Amino acid sequence: MDKFNQAKKFLRQLKISGLVASMHEWRELFESFLKSVLVHNYMPILAIDVKARIWADRNLVFAISYALGIPSLVPHSLIQLLTGLSNTEETVQDQLIKGGTNLNTGKGLRHGYLMLEEIFHHGGLLSYINKIAAGPSKPTDQMTRIVNRPDNTRHHFNPELEFKFCEGIPHRAGTFVWLVGSLERKRACQGQPETTTTRDRANQGSGRSFCSSFLVLFNNIDRPSVIKEELILNPSYGLGFYNTLATLWKRCQDSSETTNIIMHESDSAVMALKNMQNGDNYIVKLRENLARSRLQFFLASKDQWTKLVKIILETPGPSDQKTIKYLWPNIALRKLRNIRRGALQVKKGQRLNNQMTKTMRHLCPLAATWISLPLDQLTNQTIMMLTGLVTNQQNILVRGELAPQETKYPGCHCIRNPEFDTSSTLIHRMTTCPHFTKTEQVGKAREIPQGKDKSLTKTELLRQLTRLAV
C-alpha cells in the first residue's frame, strides 16, 4: 500500500497546483496511479474474493476524495458516478474475459484465466471448491469448449518468406484481376428494372455485411469486363474485416484462376497485412499464404480505386452471382468475447443509473450527463447539493428529499400536498416556492427545467442550483 499512498498524495499535490486541466486527464491519472496499483496488481486475489473487491472499491473512492478534496460525507456511489470509472468488479471481469479469449497467450495461461472467471462467477473460492467436491462435470460453457481446442498457433512471420505489395493497378490488356472490397452494385440490367445492391439482395433479413469479389478482364482499360462476381461471408463472425480475410484466403486457394488482386490501399485488411508487428495468428497465416502463392497484390490509390469501382459497378455483370460462406478464420472466440464485453458495458450503464441520487434524477435522468461534469471544478457545496442536502431556516444542512408522509419543506413555510407536489425540496424551490423568488439568480435557476437559458454552461447552472439549496 506504500505506492498507493504515495500516488494518492501525489494526486493531491496536482490538484492543489492546478496542473490538471480536465476531468478526462483526471480519469487517466486515476487509472494509471490508483487502479493500476490497487486493482491490476492484485487481480487474482480480487477475482476469488468478494470482500477484497469491496475493500478495493472503498480505498479507491477514499483516494479520489482525498485527491480532489471532496468531503467524506459524500456517498461513495456518487463519486463513482461522477468519475465514470469502472468499479473493481467490472474491471476484474473485463480483464478475465480478455485474458481468457486472447489467442496471443499460451493455452495454459488462458485456462488459468478461465478458472479465475469461473471462481468469480461462483461468488468466491469456497463456492468453487464445493462445486469441485461435488464431482467432475463436462464443460458446458461455450468459451471453455472453444479454448480447449488444440493450440497450434504461431504469432511471428516466417523470415524466409518475402511478401510485398505493388503500387497502382495493372494496365496490360488481357489481364485478369480480382477486385476485392466492400463494394455495392446498383444498376439496371438489360431488360430488367433497377435492382437493389448486391449486398442487400444477398443479405435481406440477415443483418450481415459481405465482402464483394469481382473477377475482371482488362481487355479495354476504360471498359473492363466483369467475368465473375462473388459475395463472401465468414459465418463465424460476419464483420467486414473478417469477410475480407476469408475472401483473400479463398483467392489464395483458387490462385489458378488469376494471379492478380487489387484492393484499396487504406483497406483495414491491407493495413493489417502491411503491419509486420501484427502478431495476430490469422494475419500471420494469411500473409505467409499470400507469399507462397503466385498472387500479385496491387494497391490502388483513392482516386484510382474510386474510378475503377465506378466503372465496375456500372458494367453489367454475370447473371450467376454467387454467395459463398467461407469459414476462415474461425474467430468464434472473438465474437463471444465482444458479446460478453458488450454485456458488461450494459451492466455498467445500469449500475451508473442506479447510483444517481433522487435529486439528480429530478434534474436529469441520464447518467451520461452527470459523468460529463467536471468533478474537479465543482465546489463542495455543489456536491453536497447533488446528494440531496439543503439548508433549513436555521442554516443547517438537512435532508431535502421528503418522505411520503412529510408535508413541510425545510427552509420555507410551504406545506406540501403529497398527492400533487414534488418530494424534492430543491425542485420545489426552483418551481413553486414563493420564498425563493427575490434574486435574479433564482429566476435564472427556475428556467433550467424548461431549458430556456441556453447560454449557461452546466457548471454555471449547478452553481445557481447550489445557491437555491444552500
Q: From CA 318, how far away is CA 418, in angstroms rounded?
A: 74
Phi, psi of 395 (to 5 degrees): 60, 35
Q: What pLDDT, on the 0 to 100 scale, is given for residue 141?
A: 55
Q: 157 in a domain, yes or no?
A: no
Q: 357 in a domain, yes or no?
A: no
| pLDDT tens sequence across 421-461 | 888 888 888 888 887 755 444 444 444 444 444 445 777 78
Q: From CA 468, how far away is CA 470, in angstroms rounded?
A: 6
Q: What pLDDT, on the 0 to 100 scale, is given for residue 59?
A: 95
In contact, 259 and 294? CB cutoff 8 Å: yes
**Distances in Å between the alpha carbon of 115 and those of 96, 131, 193?**
9, 13, 59
Q: From CA 329, how far away is CA 281, in angstroms rounded?
A: 10
Q: What pLDDT, on the 0 to 100 scale, is given for residue 356?
A: 93
Query: What domain range is 456 assigned to?
Result: 369-469
| pLDDT tens sequence across 4-42 | 999 999 999 999 999 998 899 999 999 999 999 999 999
Q: What pLDDT, on the 0 to 100 scale, is given for residue 37?
A: 94
Co-location of 141 and 191 in the same domain? no
Comparing 73-87, 200-214, 357-371, which segment has the lowest mean pLDDT? 200-214
The top-scoring range by mean pLDDT among 179-183, 212-216, 373-377 is 373-377
Q: Is the pLDDT of residue 56 over 90?
A: yes
Q: 364 in a domain, yes or no?
A: no
Q: 46 in a domain, yes or no?
A: yes
- CB-count burial class (<10 Å; 0-12, 13-18, 19+) for 144: middle
**Distances in Å between the alpha carbon of 400 and those of 180, 195, 409?**
64, 63, 8
Q: 337 in a domain, yes or no?
A: no
Q: From CA 261, how far away is CA 180, in angstroms rounded?
A: 7
Domain boundary among 118, 147, 176: 147
Co-location of 179 and 322 in the same domain? yes
Listed residue (97, 80, 116) closest to 342, CA to CA: 97
Give the containing element (helix H, strand E) for 386.
helix 380-386
Co-location of 128 and 33 in the same domain? yes
Give the containing element (helix H, strand E) for 99.
helix 88-101
In contact, 357 and 364? CB cutoff 8 Å: no
% of the chain surpassing 90 pLDDT = 23
Co-location of 186 and 105 in the same domain? no
Q: Is the peptide bond before 329 cis (omega within 30 degrees of 0)?
A: yes
Q: From CA 295, how far away is CA 289, in angstroms rounded?
A: 10
Co-location of 112 and 257 in the same domain? no
Tell me the pLDDT of the chain averaged across its residues. Answer: 79
Q: What is residue 434's DSSP assignment?
A: G
Q: Is the dihedral of CA 381, 384, 385, 390 positive or negative?
A: negative
Q: 353 in a domain, yes or no?
A: no
Task: Please count the structural domains in the chain.
Answer: 3
Q: What pLDDT, on the 0 to 100 scale, is given for residue 291?
A: 86
Q: Is the pLDDT of residue 196 over 80?
A: no
Hey, what's the torsion of the CAs at 203, 206, 209, 212, to 10 degrees?
-30
In contact, 290 and 297? CB cutoff 8 Å: yes
- Write the DSSP assignment of 182-246 as a string of letters: S-----BPTTS-B---HHHHHHTTT----EEEEEEEESSTTS-EEEEEEEEE-TT---HHHHHHH
Co-location of 143 and 179 in the same domain? no
Q: Is the pLDDT of residue 202 over 90?
A: no
Q: Is the pLDDT of residue 82 over 50?
A: yes
Co-location of 301 and 445 in the same domain? no
Nine-digit cell string for 215:
473477377
The confidence band for 465, taking pLDDT boundaries of 50, 70 and 90, is confident
Co-location of 123 and 48 in the same domain? yes
| pLDDT tens sequence across 269-317 | 999 999 888 878 888 888 888 888 878 889 999 998 888 888 887 777 6
Co-location of 177 and 326 in the same domain? yes
Q: From CA 175, how far away is CA 178, in angstroms rounded?
A: 10
Q: What pLDDT, on the 0 to 100 scale, is given for residue 86?
A: 93
Residue 324 in 3-state DSSP?
A: strand
Residue 180 in 3-state DSSP?
A: strand
Average pLDDT over residues 145-154: 54
The confidence band for 179, taking pLDDT boundaries of 50, 70 and 90, is confident
Comparing 218-232, 288-302, 337-351, which segment has the lowest mean pLDDT? 218-232
Q: 348 in a domain, yes or no?
A: no
- Helices 50-68 and 2-17: crossing angle in degrees, nearest 10, is 30
Residues 93-131: b if buried by 16+ CB within 10 A, e if exposed = bbbbbebbbebebeeeebebbbbbbbbbeeeeeeebeee
Q: Is the pLDDT of residue 376 over 80?
A: yes
Residue 275 in 3-state DSSP?
A: coil
pTM of the model: 0.72
Q: Is the pLDDT of residue 48 over 80?
A: yes
Co-location of 407 and 440 in the same domain? yes
Q: 309 in a domain, yes or no?
A: yes
Domain boundary among 98, 116, 147: 147
Q: From CA 258, how far away is CA 296, in angstroms rounded?
A: 9
Q: Is the pLDDT of residue 189 over 60?
A: no
Co-location of 176 and 142 in the same domain? no
Q: What pLDDT, on the 0 to 100 scale, is given for residue 194?
A: 38
More confident residue, 149 or 311: 311
Q: Which residues does 333 contact at the CB level (< 8 Å), separation at least 6?
A: 101, 103, 143, 146, 147
Q: What pLDDT, on the 0 to 100 scale, is given for residue 9?
A: 95
Co-location of 179 and 317 in the same domain? yes
| pLDDT tens sequence across 112-127 | 888 888 888 777 777 7
